[in-house]
Amino acid sequence: MLLHSVPISGGLSLMVYCMAKRQRIPKNTHRRTLLKKRDELLAASRIESRMVIIPSRSPDTFEFASHVVEQDVAACLVNLRFQTLQDVDDALGRIQKGGFGICEMCDEPISHNRLKAIPWARFCFDCQDPHGASRN
């Protein structure tokens, strides 16, 4: 459902809910954005994968601990980029199959602003998990 402002007398407006119509999503724009993001993620993952190296035991315990923490952070970043890359590839597949821009939960259109911010979004704003358990 969409909220619309309808003018009424005295310069006031009434907010009404209307059923959302299937909107035409500019898929080529989103496809280009997704492909660009995919290239960025692949380039970054190549660089980061070289950074995740098991540190050799240093005689200084604090230095060794610092290297271990840096490696953990780098490994988390690689994992996050990999997951985002999967989400981007899934979105490109939805464009190809015709399901792009449609919420996987309620089958309503995902807002253009949400797709502009997160083009690989799978859910509309209302259906996304409020606790962040589900992705996009």
8 Å CB contact between 30 and 120: no
pLDDT over 70 percentage in the chain:
65
pLDDT-based confidence at 7, cuts 50/70/90?
Answer: very low
pLDDT, tens digit (0-9, with 9 covering 90-100), for 117-129: 999 999 999 998 7
Distance CA 25, CA 121 (A): 13
CA distance 82 to 104: 22
The domain spans of the chain are: 25-136
Q: What is the pTM of this model?
A: 0.64
Q: How far is CA 39 from the centre of its chain?
A: 15
Q: How confident is the model at residue 49 (pLDDT cuts 50, 70, 90)?
A: low
Number of H helices and E strands in the chain, helices first, is 3, 2
Q: What is the distance between the alpha carbons of residues 44 and 42, in angstroms, rounded to a whole number?
A: 5
Candidates 1.20.120.910, 3.20.20.150, 1.20.1730.10, 3.60.110.10; CATH matching 25-136? 1.20.120.910
The reported pLDDT for the residue numbered 3 is 43
Mean pLDDT for 35-45 is 88
Q: Give the residue-averaged pLDDT of 77-106.
A: 92
The lowest-confidence range among 38-42, 46-50, 103-107, 113-117 is: 46-50
Closest CA to 111 of 23, 44, 32: 23
Taking every pair of C-alpha atoms in the chain, what is the biggest distance, in angstroms? 80
